[in-house]
Amino acid sequence: MNLNEAVLLQKDALIGALCENLRIPSVQRPAEPDAPYGVDVRRSLDHALETAKALGFSVTNVDGHMGWCEYGDGEEMVAVLGHLDVVPAGDGWTVDPYGAEISDGKIWGRGTVDDKGPSIAALYALAAIRDCELPIKRRIRVLLGCNEETGSADVKYYLKNGGETPVMGFTPDGEYPVINGEKGIINVTFSRTYRQDGPVKLVDIKGGSAPNVVPSYACARFVCDEKLADRLSKLYAPSMKFSKTPDGFKAESFGVSAHGSTPGLGENAIGRLITAMDALPLSSELADAVHFLAGKLGMETDGKSAGIYLHDDVSGELTLNWGTIEGDAEKFSMKINYRYPVTFRYEDCGPRFNAQFAEAGFTMDSEVHKAKLYIPADSQLVTSLMKVYRQQTGLEGEPKSIGGGTYAKSIPNLLAFGPIFPGDEVREHKPDEYIEIDNLMKNAQIIAAAMYELAK
Ligand SMILES: [Zn+2]
């Protein structure tokens, strides 16, 4: 019996266990004793560990943060990391999001693709390797996370409490073929105060919803005398609207939304508004701040004017998104999200960026850095996964780099590999999430083959 056949023998059991787990709505909820991410996530973890136990594996529950099972002997360990928590169902479903209905050769429900399907499949892949009595040199561990969608505190807890780091591994929580590069991501918040005594005073300003979304709308209101208001409310600029208010005027700007990892596909409404404000007769302190922002950021998406432009052939350019601004007559604050290419480091851009804001009188209120991930294409991990992918699917394809971040960043030596095939519809986090049963089984076979390739 070969490994692919052994996996197929598990088909009914795998579908049954997956459907049971899909019926548990494992969205994060308030922590309770032994349930750090809420009782439903805990139930989903318990269920998955029961499934592993029934397959004959001994299991470890890491205080409700994660669980794992393992097969084989050997000094070193390779890992498959999945997660059992899901995002809320949201609106727009035509089936019960927690009903685990099967129709059209598909299993429907929240978590089918992201990431219960691949996670439960990994348990059966491990059983297939054991049943085939394949010789392996390294232990194979299936790690079942519980907090991927809301911060990956699960893996942090695991590592902090002595959890073993794999020498190699993958997380089936991205896409095929292999994601071997993920840009470094920096989220930074700056604020600045100002006094106003000029003819035009800012009342408030607001734009954007989140740092990782290109803002499509921004608005600022001003007070001034009637004559100025008459004149300034008649200004014209593309994709902007100026209008009179009872005591002054307001400026609205329109942009095009896009994901923060691809800001070049959008148009930044905040950058547009600030650029227009740079031409207004504002009080000097505010004018200085606006002039700095218009000059350093404006509507740019690559950090050139801010002096942090970086580029490499593996992952392309540094991207920058000015995600939000909010303020009043005395102070404004803003959130910026930028992502540096995978062959660079935080030190190549972060300090220079922050220093310029500090010099211009801004305060940095917070900064969160998620380091880049990069495992070269000629490494053993990438070549092994690519070989498995080509053998199992007959498809070609090359390892790729992305601007987003996956679960792979949470633990060293891991890459995202699967479960989405090229050309598949995007289904994760959307209504009517589903997985084709054929794709589920193909994933189980690929996971089994990859486990063996890394452990043999
Ligand atoms: Zn996921």
Of 343, 370, 397, the residue that ends a domain is 370
pLDDT of 53 = 98
Are 3 and 448 contacting, i.e. CB atoms less than 8 angstroms apart?
yes
- Alpha-carbon gap, residue 307 to 319, rounded angstroms: 12
pLDDT of 369 = 96
pLDDT tens per residue, range 385-397: 999 999 999 999 9
Output the domain CATH number for residue 436.
3.40.630.10
Q: Looking at residues 313-327, what average pLDDT do you find?
A: 97
CA 440 remoteness from chain centre = 23
Note if the bond before 376 is cis, omega within 30 degrees.
Answer: no
Distance 428 CA to ligand 1 centre (A): 8
Among residues 40, 70, 85, 115, the one annotated as catalytic is 85
Distance 158 CA to ligand 1 centre (A): 18
Q: Looking at residues 418-439, what average pLDDT do you find?
A: 93
Q: Strand 414-416 relative to strand 168-171: parallel, antiparallel, unpaired?
A: parallel
pLDDT of 98 = 98
Q: Which residues contact 182 (CB under 8 A, 6 or more apart)?
A: 342, 372, 373, 374, 401, 402, 403, 404, 405, 406, 408, 409, 416
pTM: 0.90
The answer on 108 and 225 residing in a single domain is no
320 to 263, 291, 333, 442: CA distances (angstroms): 7, 19, 17, 37
Query: Per the structure, how many domains does the chain have?
Result: 2
| 85 catalytic residue (yes or no) | yes
Distance 87 CA to ligand 1 centre (A): 9
The answer on 451 and 399 residing in a single domain is yes
Name the residues around ion ligand 1, CB cutoff 5 A. Answer: 114-115, 173
Residue 440 has pLDDT above 90, yes or no: yes
DSSP class of residue 265 equals: G
- Mean pLDDT taken over the chain: 96
pLDDT of 99 = 98
pLDDT band at 332 (very low <50, low <70, confident <90, very high): very high
pLDDT of 130 = 97
Output the domain CATH number for residue 243.
3.30.70.360
pLDDT of 423 = 92
Q: Looking at residues 99-123, what average pLDDT do you find?
A: 98
Find tokens 């073929």 and name the residue: 177
Of 370, 388, 417, the residue that ends a domain is 370
Q: Strand 59-62 relative to strand 217-223: parallel, antiparallel, unpaired?
A: unpaired
> Among 255, 210, 223, which residue's Cα sits nearest to residue 237?
255
pLDDT of 29 = 96
The answer on 218 and 103 residing in a single domain is no
Helix (H) or strand (E) holding 253: strand 248-254
pLDDT of 426 = 83
Residue 161 has pLDDT above 90, yes or no: yes
The answer on 348 and 264 residing in a single domain is yes
Find tokens 């601007």 and name the residue: 403
Helix (H) or strand (E) holding 340: strand 331-340
Distance 173 CA to ligand 1 centre (A): 5
Residue 427 has pLDDT above 90, yes or no: no
Residue 425 has pLDDT above 90, yes or no: no
The answer on 122 and 71 residing in a single domain is yes
pLDDT of 314 = 93
Residue 198 has pLDDT above 90, yes or no: no
pLDDT tens per residue, range 40-62: 999 999 999 999 999 999 999 99
Distance 416 CA to ligand 1 centre (A): 10
Q: Looking at residues 267-290, what average pLDDT do you find?
A: 96
- Alpha-carbon gap, residue 95 to 92, rounded angstroms: 9
The answer on 255 and 156 residing in a single domain is no
pLDDT of 404 = 84
pLDDT of 1 = 79
Residue 149 has pLDDT above 90, yes or no: yes
Q: Strand 184-193 relative to strand 331-340: parallel, antiparallel, unpaired?
A: antiparallel
Q: Which residues contact 372 (CB under 8 A, 6 or more apart)?
A: 181, 182, 183, 184, 340, 341, 342, 344, 345
The answer on 387 and 319 residing in a single domain is no
The answer on 43 and 114 residing in a single domain is yes
pLDDT tens per residue, range 226-275: 999 999 999 999 999 999 999 999 999 999 999 999 999 999 999 999 99
Of 351, 370, 389, the residue that ends a domain is 370
- What is the residue range of 296's domain? 185-370
The answer on 160 and 12 residing in a single domain is yes
Distance 115 CA to ligand 1 centre (A): 5
Q: Which residues contact 442 (CB under 8 A, 6 or more apart)?
A: 392, 393, 421
Residue 305: both structure tokens together: 């004017």
The answer on 112 and 26 residing in a single domain is yes
pLDDT band at 110 (very low <50, low <70, confident <90, very high): very high
- Alpha-carbon gap, residue 16 to 23, rounded angstroms: 11
The answer on 304 and 245 residing in a single domain is yes
The answer on 274 and 126 residing in a single domain is no
pLDDT band at 3 (very low <50, low <70, confident <90, very high): very high
Among residues 148, 149, 182, 302, the one annotated as catalytic is 148
pLDDT band at 303 (very low <50, low <70, confident <90, very high): very high
3-state DSSP call for residue 402? strand
Residue 428 has pLDDT above 90, yes or no: no
